[in-house]
Amino acid sequence: MSSGLQTVDNDGQEYAVGSGMSYWAGASSVEGARRRALIREPGANWDYENYDTLLAVYAMKRALGSEKKYVEFPRKRLLDPIGMRNTLLSTDRFGDFILSSQVYTNARDLARFGLLYLQNGLWNGERLLSEEWVDFVRTPAPSTAGRGNFYGGQFWLVPDERTDVPKDAYSTAGNRGQFVVIVPSHDLVIVRRGLDWGRQGFDRWDMTREVIKAFRAAAAAAD
């Protein structure tokens, strides 16, 4: 989220010129991303922008080298190995994955995804994600240093001002209020699903604090 590309999705016109056109109106997600101009030094500023994710997916496609490998890669290398069999990764009409959103899944599959990260990328003893990648996603992006270190690599981190939540927690965040929170220090994965446009009135870190509090109370009562 620190590419330095001209942002579109946060200027109030996303349905006219933003990545929403590639989600619902038939435009190419890749071409929309590639047309963004570089307007600031990469890594200097943080700005949530779907095109950064879309370009990362495009880079994966180029690295794999063939359409067949690209189409098969997510299911063969991630979804099937961990049993995420109720998950659909949508594409635009040109066949390019839209992994900035448009992923349809259920709570159990999200829990499996969180468990993979809780286990540092291992699943039944097999390494599916490199240790370097897992470290990357939960390390604060340098561009957020002056803003509370709230974001890593495609994952949200506990902001500096939150002292009531374990600092090693990190989270996904869907735009309808879906969260997967991973808390390594408590060996814990929390999944929350909801239909909550804009996530108004709901705070994932408040939820995390209360879940941990409930587990502690239950453990104390059992002693």
Question: How far is Cα of residue 100 from the mean position of the Cα atoms in its chain?
Answer: 8
In terms of domains, do 133 and 220 share one?
yes
In terms of domains, do 185 and 197 share one?
yes
Instruction: Give the closest residue to 172 by CA, choosing from 123, 83, 111.
Output: 111
Query: Over its length of 223 residues, how does the chain's per-residue pLDDT go in tens digits?
Result: 888 887 765 454 433 344 565 566 777 888 878 888 788 888 888 888 888 888 899 999 999 999 999 999 999 999 999 999 999 999 888 888 888 888 999 999 999 999 999 999 999 999 999 999 999 999 999 999 988 999 999 999 999 999 999 999 999 988 788 899 999 999 999 999 987 765 566 899 999 999 999 999 998 898 7
Total domain count, the chain: 2
In terms of domains, do 112 and 98 share one?
no
In terms of domains, do 178 and 160 share one?
yes
Domain finish residue from 51, 82, 104 = 104
pTM of the predicted model, to two decimals? 0.89
Residues composing the chain: 223
In terms of domains, do 112 and 47 share one?
no
Instruction: Give the position of tokens 């009531």.
Output: 164
Domain CATH for 198: 3.40.710.10
Tokens of 38: 């570089």
- Cα–Cα distance, 148 to 189 (Å, whole number): 23
In terms of domains, do 142 and 215 share one?
yes
Q: How far is CA 15 from CA 18, 27, 56, 82, 97, in A?
A: 6, 11, 22, 35, 19
Structural domain including 110 reads 105-223
